[in-house]
Amino acid sequence: MPLPLPNLDNRTFADLTLELRSLIPRYDKAWTNHNPSDPGITLIELFAWLAEMLMYRMNRIEKGNYLTFLDLIGVKPSGPRTIITFEIKISKAALPTDFVLLRGTRVSAREERTGEEIVFETTVDVPYSEESWDEDREIWVFKAPAVNTMVIEKELLGVSNGSSRQTFSLKWGPLFLDREEESYAGNPKVTVESPDASVTWTYKTDLLSSGSGDEHFTAELLAGLIRFGDGTNGTIPPAGSKILCTYRRLGGPSGNVVAKKLTTLIDSLDGIGASAISVFNEYAATGGLDGETLDDLLARGLGSLHEPYRAVSDEDFESLARQAAPDKVARVKVVADRNLEGTTPDEEGHISVIVLPALEQLGLPELPAQYDAVTKKFTLNRRSAAVTNALRGIPVKKLNWEILRYLDERRLITTIVHVVGPSFTIVRLNVTFQAKPGVNAEAVKQAVGEALAAFLDPYEGWKDQQGWPYGRDLYRSELYQLIESIEGVDHVTALQMKGDATATATVIPVGENSLVGLDELTVTVF
């Protein structure tokens, strides 16, 4: 029985051709001749044919070669991951410009039930940047992705048989391994023990440059394997010697800690006293599992191939903007051929990405509209001026810059990206209604105020509760319908809508790329 062939990508020549043709109007509206005789269509078909041939060959590689392939496309074993915030309470001038928050910096928390120390370490270098200075709080703030790791001490892998290219499996693989730096302190350490001596061998990313007498070994990240040489490239461990390995593995479910749990800094920061540093995880750590098999990794890798990495279409920009900061973005809208920053005229090649940040980024509560008996108005704490003002704040500016940098690395060279916040069309409502006999009039008034505020909400408004649609005009008739559908309301006696102008209106036009900002809401009941 033949082995089943993998299927990394099932798109055919026809699928690829259709996909490429669909992009033509996006970049050249004048290109309308899509007949096979058109030279441009000929090039499209050529590239589609080459891509299909490449996928055909990739779909026939051996299963073992997937390990390297998955590593190349960035598919890593699952493990608890989060963002660690480092706050450094020193003056702006006191931090040297060559400061780097090094990858491998460790923070920890204590598991209350078992007393286990849960350790996370940062995975990238974060260099000095003026953007890291928080002007309002007068502190430095650095953020770095981190992953939960566990150290396995001197695990017995087996005994050498003296043969060439011996391979030993780790019990708790896959490894957490920095494959770029052989000198990194967190790389695995192998001890070869014989009756006469105990020798620590040196980790190498490969053995191609190792000599016949070099006591070197290499490791395979995803497979969780330790490999030795053949006597030409790397020496062979003596027959009968024990092979022991100390290594780091990704943590499991115990590493899925809640937010603000990781508060202990293990490693010092160069030149900065410990008393000036505080650390915490802004978000809960997620992704910790009991372990993935190779088949699990392959399934996840196949899915990742269909996720956009290169920003070409509007959908790509939207998806990648969400990927850039998944916990910080509530809504994204992409507008082609527009520069909504206004720094240059609108023209082809410009892309504006409108980002509505998550409420946590604005620092606003999620409370419903509350009636104020003194002013006889509802307090609108997240629906208008508060949101607009928060969008101008430092945290949102940093978020936009973070998304822009992410998109800029993935755009076409001819595309210019702009990341902006939404604009708001200001609306003021004055509602008077008659309550039904026998009902609690004040409770009905509260329900009316909450319903109107919720309906116009940029986050959870409109009929689908996905937020008020961009550019959707506001009609007085639909507000009448909404109010009179509320239990306890007999009928609406008056409803005034005011936009930016002072005059009342039956319809308030909302800008193409704008949301409704409910700035004032007064409700009166008879």
- 260-277: average pLDDT: 88
Q: What is the dihedral of CA 482, 485, 488, 491, to 10 degrees?
A: 70
Query: What's the CA gap between 137 and 423, in Å, rounded?
Result: 27
Q: Which of 87-91, 230-234, 344-348 has the lowest mean pLDDT?
A: 344-348
How much is the mean pLDDT over the chain?
Answer: 82
What is the pLDDT at residue 30?
Answer: 84
pLDDT over threshold 50, residue 148: yes
- 358-374: average pLDDT: 62
- 139-155: average pLDDT: 89
Query: What's the CA gap between 166 and 79, in Å, rounded?
Result: 29
Q: What is the dihedral of CA 511, 517, 522, 523, to 10 degrees?
A: 90
SS3 assignment, position 408: helix
Structure-token pair, residue 509: 């036009």
Q: Which of 192-201, 298-307, 340-349, 405-414 has the lowest mean pLDDT?
A: 298-307
What is the pLDDT at residue 8?
Answer: 63
Query: What's the CA gap between 508 and 519, in Å, rounded?
Result: 14
Cβ contacts of 39 within 8 Å, gap of 6 or more: none
What is the pLDDT at residue 155?
Answer: 93
Confidence tier at 490 by pLDDT (50, 70, 90)? very high
List the domains of the chain with CATH numbers: 8-59 (no CATH), 78-291 (no CATH), 308-362+393-419 (3.30.300), 422-525 (no CATH)
SS3 assignment, position 125: coil
Selection from 515, 513, 477 nearest residue 384 by Cα? 515
- As a residue count, the chain comes to 526
pLDDT over threshold 80, residue 387: no
What is the pLDDT at residue 3?
Answer: 46
Cβ contacts of 14 within 8 Å, gap of 6 or more: none
What is the pLDDT at residue 375?
Answer: 58
What is the pLDDT at residue 180?
Answer: 58
Query: What's the CA gap between 198 and 191, in Å, rounded?
Result: 7
What is the pLDDT at residue 193?
Answer: 94
What is the pLDDT at residue 382?
Answer: 44
The values of phi and psi at residue 188, to 5°, are: -60, 150
- 301-312: average pLDDT: 66
Cβ contacts of 378 within 8 Å, gap of 6 or more: 369, 370, 371, 372, 449, 453, 521, 522, 523
SS3 assignment, position 501: coil
The values of phi and psi at residue 350, to 5°, are: -90, 140
Selection from 248, 245, 247, 301 nearest residue 79 by Cα? 248
What is the pLDDT at residue 2?
Answer: 46
What is the pLDDT at residue 225?
Answer: 84
Q: Which of 66-70, 98-102, 287-291, 363-367 has the lowest mean pLDDT?
A: 363-367
What is the pLDDT at residue 381?
Answer: 44
Q: Are 488 and 444 in contact (CB under 8 A)?
A: yes
What is the pLDDT at residue 290?
Answer: 59
- 275-284: average pLDDT: 87
SS3 assignment, position 143: strand
- 106-115: average pLDDT: 84
Reported in sequence order, the residue ranges of 68-205 that DSSP labels E, i.e. its strands, are 81-88, 100-101, 106-110, 117-122, 126-127, 133-134, 139-159, 167-169, 189-193, 198-203
What is the pLDDT at residue 390?
Answer: 62
What is the sign, positive or negative, of the torsion defined by CA atoms of 218, 221, 226, 229? negative
- 168-196: average pLDDT: 78
What is the pLDDT at residue 242?
Answer: 95
Strands 514-525 and 423-435: parallel
Share of the chain above pLDDT 70, in %: 80
Q: Which of 191-205, 235-249, 360-374 has the lowest mean pLDDT?
A: 360-374
Cβ contacts of 12 within 8 Å, gap of 6 or more: 52
39-58 and 13-22 are packed helices; what angle lies between their axes, rounded to 10 degrees? 130
pLDDT over threshold 80, residue 99: yes
Cβ contacts of 447 within 8 Å, gap of 6 or more: 486, 487, 488
Scanning 176-246, the segments in alpha helix (DSSP H) are: none
The pLDDT tens digits for 422-441 are: 888 888 888 999 999 999 98
What is the pLDDT at residue 1?
Answer: 36
SS3 assignment, position 355: strand
